[in-house]
Amino acid sequence: MNKISFVFPGVGSQFTGMGKELYHEFPVFKDTIEEASDLAGADIFKIWQDGEQKLNELNFAQISLLSISYASYRVLQAELDVEPAMMIGHSLGEYTALCCDGILNFSEAIPLVQKRGECIIATSEQLEGTMLWVINIDTQVVEGVCEQLRSDAIEVYLSAYDTATQCSISCYNKDIFAIAKALEDKGALVYPLNLSGPFHSPLMQQAAKDFNTVLEGYTFNSQTSKVIANETARPYTDDVKGHLTRQLVSPVKWFQSLGVLEASGCTTIIEVGPKEVLTYLTQKSEKPLKAYSFNSIQHLNTLKNDLMVAEEEYLMKISGCRGVAVGTRNYYPENSNYHQDIVSPYNEITKIEKRIKEGYEVASEHHLKQALGHLNTILNNKRVPQDIQRASLAKLLSDKFIHLV
């Protein structure tokens, strides 16, 4: 299977009617939402279906997105049996990623995001701030404009890096027109967002301070994390409380985080949750990442067709390893250890294939990795030039399996 990462949406992706199909189709999804309802003291599913006003309130929006994305993740685990290489959550979505990674327990996550929302609301009510969406301009230019405006006593900060030419900024309401004009003079298109606070900026310092106090009452599971932090675009460290506190006053480095996935060899992302905002941003990033969404049965069927590997495919590639081993020229014919260096690893590939064909084992990625390991030994012992090795493996494996080498 391709090297896959999961991404989880934040506030703004909720919509009335979401989750209905998965709720009625998958017991694990329904159970998760019912657990969330018990924890939140509210009928979450009912709010999704006919509570538009409540759904768009920050507290309910946060609980809803955490719940639906985590429930969807559990469906994917059951139906696809895929283990993500890395995970990114956009703003609130980072809490979903931490739950899926086992760092944060879901039963604790619901009350935690409720308290996060309370801290954000309390600070926002005192600020009269908002956010603007800025497109059609390099984000570095936006940074420069913001820096210049701050030198003129206008507090404005870049709050989300979505693509190389698309971002969000946070500011006070009173400064919107001055900021928009400064950016438009540079060629930007500026749109106000219907948000009640200057989120992910230093203007939210009081919320971060209050939330840090809340976090002191929580214990997080310590482990090597697959989650990329919004504030650093690097994997989470053990300082989970610090990451979550700083997230409130730091820009969401979404575009930079996609770069981390690309550098790690990730080929595919799945957006787990409602709407397809992150799928769109990934496609707009022009990075070589195949983007899928999962919030419906149709999406699930597409994922199964495109990503799941049949037993026969693994067996065919294992047999192909033997073919490459035999068909590749020996650049070291004088090798005195030919049997040990060439014949022995070839026989190991044959044994793997034989056990599968005789029904003793079921072909899997593990078996293909073993066969590729033996093939690598053979090619190296034949002293095959690296460029020829790479070309042979690319032809054998195609895009679907090339991540295994």
Hey, which residues are catalytic here? 91, 200
Question: 7 has which bridge partners?
Answer: 88, 271
Long-range contacts of 43-47 (CB under 8 A, 24+ apart): 45/19
Contact 182, 145 (CB under 8 A): yes
Contact 203, 250 (CB under 8 A): no
Pairing outcome for strands 86-89 and 4-8:
parallel
**For the sheet containing 189-192, what is the strand order?**
156-163, 166-172, 129-135, 189-192
From first CA to last CA, the distance across the chain in angstroms is: 12
Residue 173 tokens read as 């309401």
Alpha-carbon span 298 to 277, nearest angstrom = 18
Q: What is the dihedral of CA 260, 264, 267, 272, to 10 degrees?
A: -60
Alpha-carbon span 234 to 255, nearest angstrom = 12
Among 220, 202, 46, 183, CA closest to 123:
202
Contact 271, 292 (CB under 8 A): yes
Q: Say which residues have a Cβ less than 8 Å from residue 303's Cβ, sequence separation at least 6.
A: 76, 80, 270, 292, 294
Helix/strand/coil for 268: strand
Long-range contacts of 240-243 (CB under 8 A, 24+ apart): 240/98, 240/103, 240/104, 241/212, 241/215, 241/216
CB atoms < 10 A from the CB of 42, how many?
17
Residue the block writes with tokens 């033996």: 374
